């Protein structure tokens, strides 16, 4: 069991997009001593965040949600905390469930067909309960954990939903409690964005990097924190590695951003990242240690 001495701050651990890879998630949490052989919480007063996208591609979306929900109940008994952000795939399965075969005007597709194309599993849809839905709709879209700003997606769309963490999460939660098909379409389309802080200008990569770093700095100034942690985009897509070669987070944008999507759904082993303390001079010196 993980326990801290008196006066020590709570460590924060982060796991990237699970995408239904339940067995890999269990192995990662066990190796990090956060759960035991019986899958019960053994993390003591550690804080654990999952970055969203619990569903799709892998077959164990419902099992993943059930595990996270249970650990969320168990951890406070030891002084710990387990939380998850809302990912776009978590939104998508709910949209596919609620709107089924209603056509999406700009594409002619439906939420159900988009969900299936993006790795939706019928067993997950059939296993969704009202309790699952209520829990998913309660998840925050973004959060501040100490001096880290946690986002699911590396897109700029959050600013269109509010100027504070509370406003953004509240606005997105309002959409999920709304029966407006158009509002759900806009939400899913907005969260398809990627690379906002990385840049993809092949003709001028230096300029792209500067623009991405500038936007990351603006996000941190707007919403708080000194470093931005996200998933959503495979690290291997950014580094041109094979997913199975990714075993640690990607720190980029001058140290302002950390991508933790290890690509478990694409064959990557995944990792648990313990957020290292940020020195007063960060990001001007490295703070990349911490993968377990």
229-242 tens-digit pLDDT: 999 999 999 999 99
d(Cα 37, Cα 205) in Å, to the nearest integer? 47
d(Cα 114, Cα 137) in Å, to the nearest integer? 20
22-55 tens-digit pLDDT: 999 999 999 999 999 999 999 999 999 999 999 9
62-89 tens-digit pLDDT: 999 999 999 999 999 999 999 999 999 9
Question: Euclidean distance between the first and final Cα of the chain, in Å?
Answer: 16
Q: pTM higher than 0.95 for the full model?
A: no
CA 11 to each of CA 15, 26, 202, 230, 275: distance values in angstroms, whole numbers, following the listed order = 14, 20, 38, 18, 7
Q: Give the mean pLDDT of 165-173.
A: 96
- Identify whether the C-beta of residue 17 lies closer than 8 Å to the C-beta of residue 87: yes
Locate 10 and state its tokens: 């709570």
d(Cα 189, Cα 184) in Å, to the nearest integer? 9
pLDDT value at position 283? 74
Q: Among 23-32, 103-112, 168-177, 195-204, name the one with the lowest average pLDDT.
A: 195-204
Locate 146 and state its tokens: 């100490």
């Amino acid at each position: 069991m993980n326990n801290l001495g008196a006066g020590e701050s709570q460590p924060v651990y982060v796991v990237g997009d699970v995408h239904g890879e339940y067995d890999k998630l269990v192995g990662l949490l066990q190796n990090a001593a956060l759960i035991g052989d019986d899958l019960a919480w053994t993390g003591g007063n550690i804080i654990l965040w999952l970055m969203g996208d619990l569903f799709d591609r892998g077959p164990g979306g419902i099992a993943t949600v059930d595990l996270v929900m249970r650990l969320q109940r168990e951890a406070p008994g030891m002084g710990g905390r387990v939380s998850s952000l809302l990912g776009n795939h978590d939104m998508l399965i709910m949209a596919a469930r609620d709107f089924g075969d209603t056509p999406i005007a700009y594409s002619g597709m439906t939420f159900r067909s988009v969900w299936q194309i993006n790795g939706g599993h019928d067993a997950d849809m059939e296993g969704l309960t009202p309790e699952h839905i209520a829990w998913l709709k309660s998840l925050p879209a973004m959060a501040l954990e100490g001096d880290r700003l946690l986002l699911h997606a590396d897109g700029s769309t959050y600013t269109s939903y509010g100027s504070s963490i509370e406003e953004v999460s509240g606005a997105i939660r309002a959409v999920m409690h709304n029966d407006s098909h158009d509002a759900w379409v806009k939400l899913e389309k907005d969260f398809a964005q990627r690379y906002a802080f990385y840049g993809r200008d092949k003709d001028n990569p230096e300029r792209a990097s500067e623009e991405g770093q500038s936007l990351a700095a603006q996000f941190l100034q707007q919403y708080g924190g000194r470093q931005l942690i996200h998933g959503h985009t495979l690290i291997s897509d950014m580094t041109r590695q094979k997913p199975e070669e990714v075993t640690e987070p990607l720190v980029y944008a001058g140290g302002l951003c950390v991508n933790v999507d290890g690509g478990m759904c694409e064959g990557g082993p995944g990792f648990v990242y313990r957020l290292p303390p940020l020195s007063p001079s960060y990001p001007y010196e490295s703070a990349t240690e911490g993968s377990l």
